[in-house]
Structure 1
Amino acid sequence: MTGNEVQDETITWQTGHCYLGEILVARALNGVCAVLPGESPEELVTELARRFPDAILEHANNSRADWFADVMSYLIDSRKPLSVQLDLRGTDFQCRVWRALQEIPSGCSASYGEIARRMGMPTASRAVAGACAANPLAVVVPCHRVLHRDGSLSGYRWGIKRKQAVLSHEQGLSER
């Protein structure tokens, strides 16, 4: 999809359930490459296959896998550091945006324009929004923390209800 997939690469995946619904976590050789929320495991595996059309997809069938457990733990409490390696796959610009998003602390937010300015590209707010929409790592690359400049919720790849749920969950954590 972005030109940095590997032919015949094996991607291992596992599904679980949390406050966002069903979650699929996928790991390639270089780290976790997808965290996808959705309605059903079948839908999520279909989405994973669409994102990685040349990969061999293997069900981990082991909810105790460290990488899976770490991501699920992070979904419960995003104030904890994520200890798994992430395999960011996108254009150079998308990866820069995704790294900038990871600097927004849990319970905080930024606007698309603020992210663009932090990156030294003050007129790139629409491009930042596009990179957020292409993010394959829900919550662990926190595109949900990016809001309109007036603080209102804007689009979210996995739906506004999920965006609100993650923000409310994180706000609850910061009030503890």
Structure 2
Amino acid sequence: MSRSRGDPEPTAGVIDSKSVKADAVVGADSRGFDGGKLINGRKRHVVVDTLGLLLAVMVTAADVGDRAAAQVRLTQVSSEHHLLALVWADGGYTGSLVEYCLAGLALVLAIVKRSDDQKGFVVLPKRWIVERLFAHLMRTRRLARDFERRTASAEAVIYWSMILLMTRRLARSRPQPA
């Protein structure tokens, strides 16, 4: 259940979040402290399809929980993309969110966990798609930190960066059929 380049609508996606440091211009009302990552700033919550294209983004204070933000984003994504049936997530999205997605959104939230014997940083199956998006965002100089005063502006810069990525993908030379 994944999306190929010819499909107009995604059927599967990946959700994740990343905390980034905030610049001094970011007000105290929209910044927070992520105790897990020890970052004072904001958190970017994203949902991508299986091609790595952005379906939804939400920027919050870093102390906002993943499950609370995911409920809002997944509700939005499921209403905009009716064929979306499966979303992969990490262990931070367990609990009542799984039941909410299944009962309220008719969406399967599959938790991809790493095994106990794995040590260090391991990219899990299907999770590399969203990690690749975060890597692209961090290569965009303006997104290496959060410099925007408003969260709506921060979200707009993320969409702008994704537009650059999509136009580069579209502009790639394709081999001509013989």
TM-score (norm 1): 0.25
Larger CA Rg, structure 1 vs 2:
2
TM-score (norm 2): 0.25
Tell me: higher relative CO, structure 1 or 2? Use CA pairs within 8 A at least 6 residues apart.
2
